[in-house]
Amino acid sequence: MYKYLCAIFVSVLICSCSSTIQTTNNGNEIKQAEVSKPKEAALEHFINGATAEAKGDIAAAILEYQDALALDSSSGVYYALAKNYMALNKLSLALQNSKKAVALEPESVEYLDLLAEIYSTAHQNDSSAAVLERIIALDSTRVTSYYQLAMIYEGTRPAQAIGIYKKIVDLIGPEWNVLIRMAEINEKLGNLDDAAANIKELLALDPANSSLQKLLADFYIRTKMDDNALGILNDIIELTPDDLEAREKKAKIYLTKNDWTKASEEYSYILGQPDVPLDIKVKIAGSFFSQSFQDSSLLPIAKSMFTKIDKDTTDWQVKMYLGAIAVNEKNDSLAISYFKKVTELAGWNVDGWVRLAGMYFDNKKYDDAVIVLQKAVESFPENFPVNLLLGLSLSQGEKHAEAKVYLKKAVDLNPSDVTALSAYGYTLNQLQERTEAINYLTKALALKPDDVNLMGTLGLVYDSMEMWSQCDSVYEHALSIDSLNALVNNNYAYSLSERGLQLNRALSMVKISIKADPQNSSYLDTIGWIYFKLGSYKEAKENIEKAIKIDGETSVTLEHLGDVLYMMGKKDEALKMWQKSFDMDSTNKKLKDKIEKGEI
């Protein structure tokens, strides 16, 4: 406050002989003494304002400063008003008074500082930068102004910001916050060597600082310099083996390299620490279990982790995972034991069952999913996800009669779920309940009219009922939406080939399917069958045999292969194929006639 007073004291006290009565901003009349000695009166109001400001009464302070200003338009009073308006966030008034203070004393760094701050608060960064540059021109050693200017330039002129930060380093030497900012800007600009140099300068300031070492390691990780990061983290761990943060960073680097075995060494250490929360331990071990679906060698590691966790807890999630691992190991009795513990510990938690079964389902381990869900459905017979997932899992295992029960329950529980309706419709078709299948698939399409996969399923049903007009209409509509849909192209192509229609178009369509999925045995059988219909028996045989090699023998592929062999003049081999096919599906009357006649 003495600085404000100085601005008043430097003015010469001028006496006035006027006896005119004036009014203050407070609404009070000015005393005769104030009229005759305005400078002294101004000083009194200024002191009153400073006192009010010190007490935090900003509104009262402003009124006193305004009274002082009415008597003496001094730069110090303008500055005081600007500062207090700024405190009230009245930026327009603050700016107005600040500019007047600077106009009266253009070389006052203090006044310029406030003006720059007001511009910055008002998000007028260019104006703030211009003022800061004036300050630096007046005082080239003012570090705070350099820093403020650099912060403004970071967003719009990052290269200039770095230059200003370098000046700060030249002025005061290496400084933590400055070097951090330089490193971050250099990284954003792609100046990775410069960024690393900045961080190394920081490390030189405090070589034993593990937080700084981790910061440098993080930088190396972000810039894909994993070996450098590992070197730093290994040094930290060597000095402080119980630094869990460093171990976790190291483990994550190995995970990015897909080296789960090395990552497990660090995570195993972390799991052994009593202070690590249980949910983090479960999350770590769970990630290894999930990855074991792609790499079976990780299953023993996941088992070891969960076994270690299980020693110190009775948490149901741990039992759930151990049960799942037992299922993978074909140890059904142990799995059942664990799952029973889960129901005892958390019989209320259906989400655990659904998550575990969903994990199996997503990885196409449908039998394992069924084991889990059959146990879950005992406790949650009215749960929609449990019934739906169980029905889907059974359906994928070709157990359609069992699947029907649970899918019907799922539809009853949630009649507007498209997945439940379409899965139930598909299963009904597999059980040759086709009229009902059409009913449910149509309901699903009404909810999701542009679902090409639904149309494909409905097309299959119409095809099996020989409702050709409806079949072709559905397939054509589906292809008008997605002309490259592999499943629809295959199914429509096969339908046309069975009827001996548009064979060249059918061939083009199935080639689209095979391009999308070259190892799909159904697609290969379809193209083989179309080649058969076109009389290209060599190509037909090659593709059907490839389908059998990929997915094993089925009644359909064996019958097709027999037909091809017959047309190639290999009647004895054809008869053997037909017989094998009939052994798999004794309901095929057409096939039975072929075997009895010995010809197509």
Three state DSSP letters for 528-595: HHHHHHHCCHHHHHHHHHHHHHHHCCCHHHHHHHHHHHHHCCCHHHHHHHHHHHHHHCCCCHHHHHHH
3-state secondary structure of 284: helix
Q: Is residue 485 part of a domain?
A: no
Structure tokens at 357: 């079964």
User: 544 with 561: CB under 8 angstroms?
Assistant: yes
CATH of the domain at 101: 1.25.40.10
Q: Is residue 175 part of a domain?
A: no
For residue 19, the model assigns a pLDDT of 33
Instruction: List the one residue out of 483, 487, 482 whose CA is nearest residue 457.
Output: 487
How long is the chain?
600
Cα separation, 390 vs 367, in Å, equals 10
What are the φ/ψ torsions at residue 361 (nearest 5 degrees)? Answer: -60, -45
- 555-580 as b/e, with b when 16 or more CB fall inside 10 Å? bbbbbbbbbbbbbeeeeeebbebbee
For residue 342, the model assigns a pLDDT of 87
Cα separation, 434 vs 505, in Å, equals 28
Q: Is residue 112 part of a domain?
A: yes
Q: Is residue 5 part of a domain?
A: yes
Cα separation, 261 vs 446, in Å, equals 50
For residue 324, CA distances in Å to 176, 375, 545, 569, 592 come to: 50, 13, 37, 53, 45
**Helix extents (H) in 105-225:** 109-121, 125-138, 143-156, 158-172, 176-189, 192-205, 210-222
| pTM > 0.85 | no
Of the CA atoms within 13 Å of residue 341, those in its CB half-sphere come to 18
Instruction: List the one residue out of 126, 104, 103, 102 whose CA is nearest residue 114.
Output: 102
Cα separation, 310 vs 242, in Å, equals 22
Structure tokens at 176: 């933590």
What is the full per-residue pLDDT of the chain (600 aa) written as tens digits?
444 444 433 332 333 333 333 444 444 444 544 445 788 899 999 999 999 999 999 999 999 999 999 998 999 999 999 999 999 999 999 999 999 999 999 999 999 999 999 999 999 999 999 999 999 999 999 999 999 999 999 888 999 999 999 999 889 888 878 888 898 898 888 887 888 788 788 778 777 778 878 878 888 888 888 998 999 999 999 999 999 999 999 999 999 999 999 999 999 999 999 899 999 999 999 999 999 998 999 999 999 999 999 998 999 999 999 999 998 898 888 888 888 888 788 878 888 788 788 878 888 889 999 998 998 999 899 999 999 999 999 999 989 999 999 999 999 999 999 999 999 999 999 999 999 999 999 999 999 999 999 999 999 999 999 999 999 999 999 999 999 999 999 999 999 999 999 999 999 999 999 999 999 999 999 999 999 999 999 999 999 999 999 989 999 999 999 999 999 999 999 999 999 999 998 888 999 999 999 888
Look at the block and give the residue holding tokens 């996800």.
Answer: 385
CA angle 233, 240, 206 (to 5 degrees): 70
Cβ atoms within 10 Å, residue 138: 14
Number of H helices, E strands in the chain: 35, 0
Structure tokens at 376: 């879950």
User: 352 with 346: CB under 8 angstroms?
Assistant: yes
Residue 440 parent element (H or E): helix 434-447
> Residue 587: which residues within 8 A CB-CB, separation 6 or more?
none
For residue 36, the model assigns a pLDDT of 52
Cα separation, 369 vs 363, in Å, equals 10
User: 102 with 110: CB under 8 angstroms?
Assistant: no
User: 459 with 488: CB under 8 angstroms?
Assistant: yes
Cα separation, 158 vs 456, in Å, equals 56
Q: Is residue 35 part of a domain?
A: yes
Q: Is residue 386 part of a domain?
A: no
3-state secondary structure of 430: helix
Q: Is residue 192 part of a domain?
A: no
For residue 484, the model assigns a pLDDT of 96
Q: Is the dihedral of CA 443, 449, 450, 456 positive or negative?
A: positive
User: 546 with 538: CB under 8 angstroms?
Assistant: no
For residue 555, the model assigns a pLDDT of 93
Domain that includes residue 72, residue range: 1-123
Interval 20-56: pLDDT, tens: 334 444 444 445 444 457 888 999 999 999 999 999 9
Cβ atoms within 10 Å, residue 552: 9
> Residue 383 class from Cβ within 10 Å (0-12 exposed, 13-18 middle, 19+ buried)?
buried
User: 183 with 198: CB under 8 angstroms?
Assistant: yes
Cα separation, 291 vs 212, in Å, equals 33
Cα separation, 457 vs 449, in Å, equals 13
Q: Is residue 113 part of a domain?
A: yes
3-state secondary structure of 23: strand
For residue 208, the model assigns a pLDDT of 77
466: left (phi over 0), alpha (psi -120 to 50) or beta: left
Query: Structural domain tally of the chain?
Result: 1
Give the CA diameter of the chain.
139
For residue 349, the model assigns a pLDDT of 85
> Residue 470 class from Cβ within 10 Å (0-12 exposed, 13-18 middle, 19+ buried)?
middle
